[in-house]
Structure 1
Amino acid sequence: MMYNTQKNNKLYAIIFCCLLTACQKPPVVVDDNSSKDTVVKSKPQQPEFNAEITPIALQQSSCDNRRCAEFSIAHLISNQKFIDQTLEQATLDLLKQKLDLRFVDETTANDLSTPNQGNSLSFNEQVQRCADAFFQLDQAFNQVNSNMHASFVIQVERQSHVGNLVTIVLKAHDFLGGAHASNGEYYFIFDLAKKQQLTLESILLPNQKNALKALLYTQFKDWVLAEKLADQVENYEQAWPFKVSHNFYFNEKGLVLQYNEYDIAPYAMGAPSFIIPYAQLEGILQPQFLPTQH
């Protein structure tokens, strides 16, 4: 009898445990993503632009203690060949534009008269030919005035690298006789992704060149009157007509259009520039060239 009672008690205990287990809620499975590797999307890196700027080694004429002509040309060499070639072409164009070949020997004159694209000489060799022409010009000047110090200097400066855009400026200074020296700044903006130089037309929306011209002309008129260059802008433009500069760059304020000496003003006014604020360029400038906030 006692055996049956113990047996029944064990049976009741088993049934009770089964009922208790059945009444319990199933465990909640928590998906803990913290233990998994998180994939972070990295921002696209801007293309690399590595450049070295050095003066070109040239054979130069000797000078005495009284006078010494200066001829110095900087050369940019980078990991972007299309930029190097564009700047080399611009440098040669500046040199050939300035040098007066009437005072140069026939061989040097012929070398400098050959278009750059068809010239078999390297860039450094062509610059050396320009140096030869410069020193021949200097000798001609010396016969007129022994105290004259001729000079020709081109510097290359890396101005900025923002995103895909790299801005380089060539700064030229020369004195080749005359009343005064000449200075100029020439800006180049390169798109590293597209491997091309930006032009004024390429940064504008379609059919917006006249809109930009109108904004620029307003600043030009205000400048003429503020500088007291004339009582009437129309009278001033008879001698110095307005024109749109294709020499430009971007800064934190807007689009800068740079002029050089004698472009729109006499020498005494230097090299004027005008800044079109970004806020005025909405609907005119391609959206990718507008800052997110302005």
Structure 2
Amino acid sequence: MKKILIITTLAASLLSLTACQKPDQSTEQVKASPAATSAPQSVTNPLDVKVLKASYNLPACSGEGCVQVDIQRLQTNKPWINQFLDQKILALSNVQLSEKQPTLTTLQANVDRFVQAAKQDSIARGAPVPYTMQVTPEFLGEKGDIGLFKISAAFYSGGAHGSAFDNYYNLDLKQKKQLQLADLLLPEQQPKLYELVHQQYADWVKQNDLSADLSKYEQDWPFKLTDNFTFSEDGLVLAYGQYEIGPYAVGMPEFTIPYAQLAGIIKPEYLAAPLQLQKMQLQDPQPDVEKDASPRAD
């Protein structure tokens, strides 16, 4: 089975989304709906987020085995957020399909290389191989001065199954940086958080009949805290990727620690549920899209 590795090299920003077929040149306004519980009101300007949807310059293709590419981006009223998310999207689209690590250049170059790999694979197999690439960013809402984002990605390049990613990004709107898990913690409280999440991990192992012996299972799939986290209405959510703490069959598990259990462990400003936690209310598509927004490496 061919494994897909994602190169985490970051490149400069702004994506150009053009298509050989007529693109859907609509933008969708994204607003967050109020959550049931409240958090401190943000002192910064509220985030204004649009989803820009389009496909890319793909060669003409019909019948079986055509490469499918669907990549979106977000346009906000914060240029530094646009650049940050565009870099993440560009890196995710830079799929490694061979031993040689690809150079991070432009989104179009990444797509072209993906299409070429599919063509070569189909020739080698003597049958069409329907490669697919999908990268979908989402605005999840705001929590005080934190913007909550998620980028999901899915790839297939032959083999028994594809690969998928759910990456969360919590952006401090005042300090203009991504929050890490350590930024949330009170001094010397990491062991207590570890204990809370590890207990959920142990329960998850048991509930999924992964092993009757937790210590033996953990030798193969060791548990660790992760910087891939977000905030929900119920608590702090830690998300794990495929093959990170279990085999492919278990998917991408997430563990939620209720805010009540986090008192005295994380800083008070992070204890309340997000004021605006959206379920992606898409409103009033606009007719124009940004032009010439292709990310290139410096």
CA distance in structure 2 between the aligned counterparts of 1:101 and 1:268, rounded to whole angstroms? 24
Q: 1:75-132: per-residue Cα shift (whole Å, max 9, x none)?
A: 1121112211221221222223x322558xxxxx7xx425xxxxxx6xxxx1011001
- Structure 1 partner of 2:87: 89
1:264 Cα deviation (Å)?
A: 0.5
Q: Which structure 2 segments of 5+ residues have no match? A: 1-40, 274-298
Q: Which structure 1 segments of 5+ residues have no match? A: 1-42, 104-108, 115-120
Of 279-288 and 82-91, more deviation after overlay is shown by 82-91
- The one-letter amino acid paired with 1:50 is D
1:134 Cα deviation (Å)?
A: 0.4
Q: 1:118-168: per-residue Cα shift (whole Å, max 9, x none)?
A: xxx6xxxx1011001100111112111523210001011111123322111
CA distance in structure 2 between the aligned counterparts of 1:278 and 1:145, rounded to whole angstroms? 55
CA distance in structure 1 between the aligned counterparts of 2:216 and 2:42, rounded to whole angstroms? 53
> Deviating runs (4+, > 4 A) in structure 1?
43-46
| Equivalent residue pairs, number | 232
- Structure 2 partner of 1:99: 96
| 1:136 is aligned to 2:116 | yes
Q: Secondary structure at the match of 2:134?
A: strand
Bigger proportion of residues as helix: 1
- Structure 2 partner of 1:20: none
CA distance in structure 2 between the aligned counterparts of 1:149 and 1:194, rounded to whole angstroms? 43
Residues 47 and 192 of structure 1 are in contact (CA less than 8 Å); yes or no, is this contact kept in structure 2? no
| 1:236 is aligned to 2:234 | no
Q: 1:153-208: per-residue Cα shift (whole Å, max 9, x none)?
A: 10111111233221111010110122101111111111222222211111111222
TM-score (ref. length: structure 1) = 0.74
Over aligned residues, Cα RMSD in angstroms? 2.0
CA distance in structure 1 between the aligned counterparts of 2:162 and 2:130, rounded to whole angstroms? 11
1:46 Cα deviation (Å)?
A: 4.5
Identity score, percent: 32
1:44 Cα deviation (Å)?
A: 7.1
- Structure 2 partner of 1:253: 234
- Structure 1 partner of 2:207: 226
- Report the structure number with the largest CA radius of gyration: 1
Bigger proportion of residues as strand: 2
| 1:156 is aligned to 2:146 | no
Residues 47 and 164 of structure 1 are in contact (CA less than 8 Å); yes or no, is this contact kept in structure 2? no
TM-score (ref. length: structure 2) = 0.73
Which protein, 1 or 2, shows the higher relative CO under an 8 Å CA cutoff with sep ≥ 6? Answer: 2
Q: Secondary structure at the match of 1:158?
A: strand
